[in-house]
Amino acid sequence: MDDLLRVGVITTTHGIRGEVKVFPTTATPDRFESIDKVFLVTKREELELEIEKVRYFKNLVILKFKGIDNINDIEKYKGAELYVDREHGDTLSEGEYYIADIIGLKVIDESENLLGEVADVMETGANDVYVVRREGQKDLLIPAIKDCILSIDIESKKMIVRLLDGLSDL
């Protein structure tokens, strides 16, 4: 799973011919047009599926998979997540990271104190917020802004942060 990136979640079926509505979890939903295959992952199984057809409806992507031609064959996958391998991931600009790479980073303040570990990333309208799990304390919420995030080193699995006044009190 470390080499896979989530691109969507199946919300429901669409029609009776095996199509599904997918909520995209990628910054560029139109990228489904250039993806040949996805990995469908549930708690019990992982399937590699070839995309046959892509359409759009409001904020959703409607996908048809090759070999799945009946609602009964796909209905059990409502809520399943769709992934692509890293080579089909979005091209990142300088200072951009995949959420999958951020989760699990050790978070250290400017004084080199270990604050905790990134447990989740909340995507808000203005900027992302890193949820830092701290042992024996409530989670710390750090906005992903230049004033707070001093450096991110994916290879060393650490993030150096500056806590603005009041952040640790929230």
**Number of structural domains found in the chain:** 2
- Domain assignment of residue 94, yes or no: no
Closest C-alpha to 126, from 159, 148, 110, 104: 148
State which of 30, 59, 88 marks the end of a domain. 88
The pTM of the full predicted model, rounded to 2 decimals, is 0.70
Q: For residues 65 and 26, what is the distance between their CA atoms, to the nearest angstrom?
A: 19
Task: Write out the residue range of the structural domain in which residue 108 sits.
Answer: 99-169
74 and 111, same structural domain?
Answer: no
Beta pairing partners, 49:
38
- Domain assignment of residue 84, yes or no: yes
Q: Which helix (H) or strand (E) holds 72?
A: helix 71-74
Q: For residues 141 and 156, what is the distance between their CA atoms, to the nearest angstrom?
A: 22
Q: What is the pLDDT of residues 71-122, one digit of tens each?
A: 999 999 999 999 998 776 767 778 788 888 899 999 999 999 999 999 999 8
82 and 112, same structural domain?
Answer: no
State which of 57, 88, 119 marks the end of a domain. 88
CATH number, domain with residue 125? 2.30.30.240
Q: For residues 82 and 38, what is the distance between their CA atoms, to the nearest angstrom?
A: 6
- Domain assignment of residue 67, yes or no: yes
State which of 88, 107, 133 marks the end of a domain. 88
Q: How confident is the model at residue 2 (pLDDT cuts 50, 70, 90)?
A: low
User: Beta strand pairing status for 140-143 and 149-153?
Assistant: unpaired
Q: For residues 68 and 26, what is the distance between their CA atoms, to the nearest angstrom?
A: 24
114 and 75, same structural domain?
Answer: no
Give me the sheet containing 149-153, strands edge to edge: 140-143, 128-133, 114-123, 106-109, 158-161, 149-153
